[in-house]
Amino acid sequence: MSKESTTHFGYEQVKVGEKAERVRAVFDSVATRYDLMNDLMSMGIHRLWKRFAVELAGVRSGQRVLDLASGTGDLAARFAVLAGPEGLVIMSDINAAMLHQGRSRMADKGLVGNLVYTQINAEQIPFPDNSFDCITIGFGLRNVTDKQKALKAMYNALRPGGRVLILEFSQPVSKPLKAAYDLYSFKLLPLLGRIVANDERSYRYLAESIRMHPNQEQLKQKMEAVGLERCDFHNMTGGVVAIHRGFKL
């Protein structure tokens, strides 16, 4: 009998079938403090990262957008405005608690009409091929069990001429920055999680999951392997975060 395959959950090896549930538990725990922790962890810089991602996405009036791993909806809210009443933005997340937080936040902003919500696993996008002009995933791909399967699902769901945009933590490009970032990630970040969210363990997982995620060039190659073309990436904050983009031609 063959041994069941495993994958990483941070630095821990777990059975492939267990990872999604472990990730769900992390975000169930942090959902209510998610936005506050984002501001504290990045000192507000995450807003600039997301603004640049929206610019690169190039969403125009009337277009259809699928935002995967929407969280509390920072990207989806901007896309809803850009797509306008003739467009459609699907705000999605695999985690029901996060999607609930995001939906409440969008309602508070008065964003209705062209913004809809659905719980989606990025590996199994439940829409026909050639459905969307743009598919985005912000700070979510590193949590996906089978990244290649998710990238292929995104490619299939794109219309010809459409683009995939991935906003994700990545690898600092300089050794001094990497050393400082490691110190911050493994010392200060879990401390913040314990004080603010009463959850040190989930934020230790965050730091570990970033290290296990493909670096800039590796992710670009994974995108090209599923058929995306003209793939590129843009480093921000010295490579702490990168935005990858690829097109279905």
User: What's the rounded mean pLDDT across residues 11-19?
Assistant: 94
Which CATH number characterizes residue 154's domain?
Answer: 3.40.50.150
Query: What DSSP element (H or E) covers 17?
Result: helix 16-30
Residue 209 lies in a domain: yes
| Structure confidence at residue 33 (pLDDT) | 87
The tens digit of pLDDT for each residue in 103-160 reads 998 888 887 789 999 999 999 999 999 999 999 999 999 999 999 999 999 999 999 9
Residue 148 lies in a domain: yes
What is the average pLDDT score of the chain?
Answer: 94
Give me the residues paired with residue 93 across strands: 119
Residue 3 lies in a domain: no
Ranking 86-95, 110-119, 203-212, 232-241 by mean pLDDT, the lowest is: 110-119
Ranking 21-30, 116-125, 126-135, 206-215 by mean pLDDT, the lowest is: 21-30
User: What's the rounded mean pLDDT across residues 56-70?
Assistant: 97
Q: Confidence band (pLDDT; 50, 70, 90) for 58?
A: very high
Residue 183 lies in a domain: no
Long-range contacts of 149-152 (CB under 8 A, 24+ apart): 149/123, 150/122, 150/123, 151/222, 151/223, 151/225, 151/226, 151/228, 152/226, 152/227
Supply the range of the domain harboring residue 74: 23-173+205-247
Residue 16 lies in a domain: no
Q: Confidence band (pLDDT; 50, 70, 90) for 4?
A: low
Cα radius of gyration (the chain): 17
| Structure confidence at residue 228 (pLDDT) | 98
User: What's the rounded mean pLDDT across residues 36-62?
Assistant: 95
- pTM exceeds 0.75: yes
Give me the residues paired with residue 138 across strands: 167
Residue 10 lies in a domain: no
Residue 199 lies in a domain: no
pLDDT at 3 over 60: no
Give the count of domains, the chain: 1
Ranking 109-113, 207-211, 213-217 by mean pLDDT, the lowest is: 109-113
Residue 218 lies in a domain: yes
